[in-house]
């Protein structure tokens, strides 16, 4: 089936190129341009900084018509969803002094939003192209970091990043990951009836070999609709606290006594330092409440979070705070709270991360309590999906895909 998709796409591309070549030889105008000369239609291309109202206004659409259209589109296509490179097709009505009669945009492959004026009211519809769910396998070896290795294997960057964040509950990227370690990942891909790519779905399964240790995880949605990652025994990867509150960082200094690199004398290093480039996002290690987000002498810019059980976490030397991070703000595990910097007493860009329990500093690497264990019918359902995905993982070769039932 994959072969049919590829051949069909190549054939369509050849016919399209042949048609364009024929027009070039004969001197004829492309069909789209010829049609636009006789029909009241226009194609608008979104550029950086454009707004929907500004684009339509610049095309001569009455401001009142623009306002009514934007209000009608709000639920399916809010103005903030506009992105550079998108194309908007508009149709004008000559019988109403070229007033706007139809609006159409494709926010994502296979999803079209169309608005048609009926009398004085806009009717808005969402059109979804039929799509086929495919399962794709990628695999590779780690030489530099896990993220570049995954993207080099053909995995979409967004999916690679989401998987790395999930693995942050289980893997210490500094100690556990070594050059030569390997991985294999299964994820969803969606195509239309002709095989054209519509987009990607979720990562479903991953297997990693970490210095001889095998870690296999599966994505599972429980009966209450909660999706999470589980290991081979059905234990959730989600811990009370992230082991690494930023992606792909290197531990530059651990918890314990050390000679301070600036002050020059030996004292307790109350946390763990993660070396990372300035601007790297820093995440909340657990659900909690913002105590403060301010500049504090040696800490520089620091965010303090309060968690259940009398636990506090601190994130220091930040270059900036994330938008909305202020005292009293509720955050969830994995929410961005700031970015790596070198403010305060710091010799270079890094995150200084502390965990304080009942007023006393503890080693952040030890705050990793186990979470949910599947049981009963939930475990049985998980085992069934686990066996199915493991079968596909063994049968598929790298970068191949197979159609899946919905």
pLDDT at res. 245: 87
Closest by alpha carbon to 219, among 171, 147, 163? 163
CB 234 within 8 A of CB 373: yes
Same domain? For 166 and 235 the reply is: yes
Same domain, 258 and 362: yes
Please check whether residues 214 and 191 belong to one and the same domain.
yes
Which residues, 6 or more positions from 365, have their beta carbon under 8 angstroms from its beta carbon? 172, 243, 254, 255, 272
Give the pLDDT of the chain (406 residues) as one tens digit per residue. 333 333 333 333 333 333 333 333 333 333 333 333 344 688 888 888 889 988 898 888 888 889 999 999 999 999 888 888 889 999 988 888 878 999 999 888 778 999 999 888 999 999 887 888 899 999 999 987 888 999 999 999 989 988 988 887 778 777 788 888 999 999 999 888 888 888 888 999 999 998 878 999 999 988 877 788 999 999 888 777 887 888 766 776 755 554 545 545 455 567 888 888 999 999 998 889 999 999 998 899 999 999 988 899 999 999 999 999 999 999 988 899 999 999 998 888 999 999 988 888 888 776 555 567 888 999 999 999 999 888 888 888 877 788 876 5
For 209, the enclosing helix (H) or strand (E) is: strand 197-210
pLDDT tens-place string over residues 71-88: 999 999 998 888 888 899
pLDDT at 24: 38
Both 219 and 291 in one domain: the answer is no
Let me know whether 382 and 348 are in one domain: no
398 and 314: one domain? no
pLDDT of residue 218: 94
Residue 257, strand partner residues: 268
Closest to 341 (Cα-Cα) out of 318, 316, 311: 318
As for how many domains the chain has, the answer is 3
Domain limit, last residue, from 95, 128, 161:
128
* CA dist., res. 107 & res. 11, Å (int): 26
What tokens does 207 get?
Answer: 């297997």
For the chain, what percentages of helix, strand and coil (3-state, to nearest 5) are there? 25, 40, 35
Out of 112, 128, 144, pick the residue that ends a domain. Answer: 128
Cα gap 258→246, rounded to integer Å: 23
Q: Residue 326 carries which DSSP code?
A: -
pLDDT digits (tens, 9 = 90+) for 347-367: 889 999 999 888 888 887 765
Residues 87 and 68 reside in one and the same domain: yes
Q: Are residues 230 and 263 in the same domain?
A: no
| Final residue in a domain of this structure, among 105, 128, 151 | 128
Give a yes or no: residue 229 inside a domain.
yes
The residue range of the domain holding 191 is 132-239+375-403
At CA 389, angle to CA 387 and CA 393, rounded to 5? 115
The string of pLDDT tens digits covering residues 100-109 is 999 999 888 7
Within a domain: residue 226?
yes
């Amino acid at each position: 089936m994959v072969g049919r998709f590829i051949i069909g796409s190549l054939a369509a591309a050849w016919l399209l190129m042949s048609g364009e070549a024929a027009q070039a030889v004969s001197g004829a105008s492309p069909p789209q341009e010829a049609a636009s000369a006789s029909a009241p239609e226009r194609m608008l291309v979104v550029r950086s900084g454009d707004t929907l109202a500004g684009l339509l206004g610049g095309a001569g659409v009455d401001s009142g018509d623009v306002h009514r259209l934007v209000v009608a589109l709000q639920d399916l296509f809010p103005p903030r969803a506009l992105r550079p490179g998108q194309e908007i097709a508009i149709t004008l009505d000559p019988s109403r002094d070229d007033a706007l009669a139809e609006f159409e945009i494709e926010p994502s492959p296979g999803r079209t939003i169309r608005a048609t004026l009926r009398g004085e009211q806009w009717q808005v519809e969402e059109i979804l192209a039929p799509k086929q769910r495919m399962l794709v396998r990628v695999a590779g070896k780690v030489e530099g970091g896990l993220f570049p290795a995954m993207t080099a294997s053909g995995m979409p960057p967004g999916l690679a990043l989401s998987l790395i964040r999930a693995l942050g509950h289980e893997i210490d990227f500094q100690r556990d990951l070594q050059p030569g370690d390997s991985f294999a990942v299964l994820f969803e891909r969606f195509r239309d009836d002709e095989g054209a790519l519509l987009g990607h779905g979720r990562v479903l399964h991953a297997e990693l070999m970490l210095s001889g240790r095998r870690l296999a995880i599966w994505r599972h949605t429980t009966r209450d609709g909660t999706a999470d990652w589980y290991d081979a025994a059905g234990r959730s990867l989600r811990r009370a606290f992230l082991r690494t509150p930023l992606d792909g960082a290197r531990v530059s200094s651990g918890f314990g006594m050390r000679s301070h690199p600036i002050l020059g004398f030996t004292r307790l290093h109350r946390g763990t330092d993660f070396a990372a480039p300035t601007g790297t996002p820093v995440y909340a290690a657990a659900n909690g409440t913002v105590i403060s987000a301010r500049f504090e002498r040696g800490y520089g810019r620091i965010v303090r979070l309060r968690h259940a059980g009398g636990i506090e976490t601190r994130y220091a030397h930040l270059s900036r705070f994330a938008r909305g991070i202020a005292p009293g703000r509720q955050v969830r595990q994995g929410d961005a709270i700031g970015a790596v910097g070198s403010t305060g007493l710091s010799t270079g860009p890094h995150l200084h991360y502390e965990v304080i329990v009942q007023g006393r500093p503890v080693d952040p690497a030890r705050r990793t309590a186990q979470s949910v264990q599947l049981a009963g019918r939930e475990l049985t359902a998980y085992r069934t999906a686990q066996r199915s995905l493991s079968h596909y993982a063994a049968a598929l070769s790298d970068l191949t895909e197979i159609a899946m039932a919905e």
